[in-house]
Structure 1
Amino acid sequence: MMDFLLRGVRPGDEARVLELVVELAVYEREPDAVKASVADLTAAFFGVPAAAECLVAELGGEIVGIALHARNFSTWTGKTGLYLEDLYVSPSARGMGIGRAMLVELARIAVARGYARFEWSVLDWNAPAIRFYESLGARMMDEWTVMRVDGEGLRALAAG
C-alpha cells in the first residue's frame, strides 16, 4: 500500500479539486448541480479574505481526496467553529484511511484554533457515511433540519 500525504491546497490545485467536487456531486445524485469554476475556487481559497480552505490528500503525486471547509460561528458558545462542506476520496483511493485521516486533521485544526465545534451535513440515505462518521464519535443532530434559500428564491427574498 502506498503512503498518502495530507496538505493544504496550493495554487494550481483548483482544477483537480473541482474535478473531485464534480465526482462528489455525481455520487450524491446531483450531477448537474456544480456551477463553480476554477476561478471561483481560486478566489475562495486565495482571495483576501479567503472564503474557504481545502485540505487535500495526495497519493503518488495525484490529489485523490478533498476536505473543503470554512469557519462558522455559534452564538451559543460565542466561538468560531469549523464547517466541513465537502469530504470526498476517489474510489481508487478508498480503504486506505484517507477519509479518517482528513477528519482527524480537521479536528486537530479546530482544536488548535480554539474552535468550539466541527460539524457537517450528510445525506440521510448515505448509510455508509453515517456509520463511518458515528464510528469517529460524530452524532446526528436529529432535531435540526437544514434550511436553504437560493437562486430565484434568494433574489425574491432580497427584493423584500
Structure 2
Amino acid sequence: MSELEDGPAVVRRAYPEDLPRVVELIAEHAAYEKAAPPAAGLADRLAALLFGPGEPRLRCLVAELPDGTLAGYASCAPEISTWDGAEYLHMDCLYLTEASRGHGLGPLLMAAVRTEASRLGLAEIQWQTPAWNESAIRFYDRLGATSKEKHRYSLRTGA
C-alpha cells in the first residue's frame, strides 16, 4: 500500500464495474502518448478479454485511492519469446493520472505485475515506453529494469 494524504491506496484486479473508468484512463493514456483515442466499443472488447470464461487472456490491475477513485492501471498478458523458448509477462500499459504520480502508486502497480508474473510461473516481465518519456525511463531504471533499443511496428491485417 501507498500512504496518501487521505490514507492508503491499494492495487487490485479490475472488476467489471471498473471498466468505464479504466476506458477513461486508457483514453487519457493515449492522449498522453500522443496516440489516437481508443476505438468505440473498447469496454465490451476488454470485458471479453478480462472477464470472459476460463483464464483471462488479459489482466488489468488498478490503483485505487482511499476515496475509491481509480487513479491508474497496468495491463499485462503472458507472451512467448521464441529466442528464449519461454513465456514471459508482457506489460502492455502502465499509466497513472498526472495528479497521482509521485505518490508511490507506480511501484505498487509494478509490484502487483511482478506478483502476477510469479503467480503464473513466469520469470520475466517485458514492456516498452516511448523514448521521449524520460520520467518513465527514470522510474523503470530506479526499479533495476534494463532496456533494449528497438522500434515497434504495427501492420493492419484488414481482418
TM-score bracket, normalised by the shorter chain, equals 0.7 to 0.9
State the shift of 1:38 in Å: 1.4
Residue identity matched to 2:153 = M
Q: Could you say which residue in structure 2 is the equivalent of 1:52?
A: 58
Query: Identical aligned pairs, as a percentage?
Result: 34
Alignment of 1:1-160 (within 5 A): 1=5, 2-30=7-35, 32-35=36-39, 37-49=42-54, 50-59=56-65, 60-142=67-149, 144-150=150-156, 154-155=157-158
Measure, in 2, the Cα distance between the counterparts of 1:24 and 1:47.
24
Equivalenced residue count is: 151
- List alignment gaps of at least 5 residues for structure 2: none
Moved over 3 A (4+): none
Residue identity matched to 2:92 = E
TM-score (norm 2): 0.87
Measure, in 2, the Cα distance between the counterparts of 1:48 and 1:145.
34
Residue identity matched to 2:95 = Y
Secondary structure, aligned partner of 1:13? helix
Instruction: Tell me if the contact between 1:77 and 1:116 (Cα under 8 Å) persists in the aligned partners.
Output: no
TM-score (norm 1): 0.86
Deviations 1:81-106 (A, max 9, x none): 11111111112222111011111121
Secondary structure, aligned partner of 2:108? helix
- List alignment gaps of at least 5 residues for structure 1: none
Measure, in 1, the Cα distance between the counterparts of 2:147 and 2:84.
19
State the shift of 1:10 in Å: 0.8
User: Greater relative contact order (Cα 8 A, min sep 6): structure 1 or 2?
Assistant: 2
Measure, in 2, the Cα distance between the counterparts of 1:92 and 1:125.
20
State the shift of 1:78 in Å: 3.0
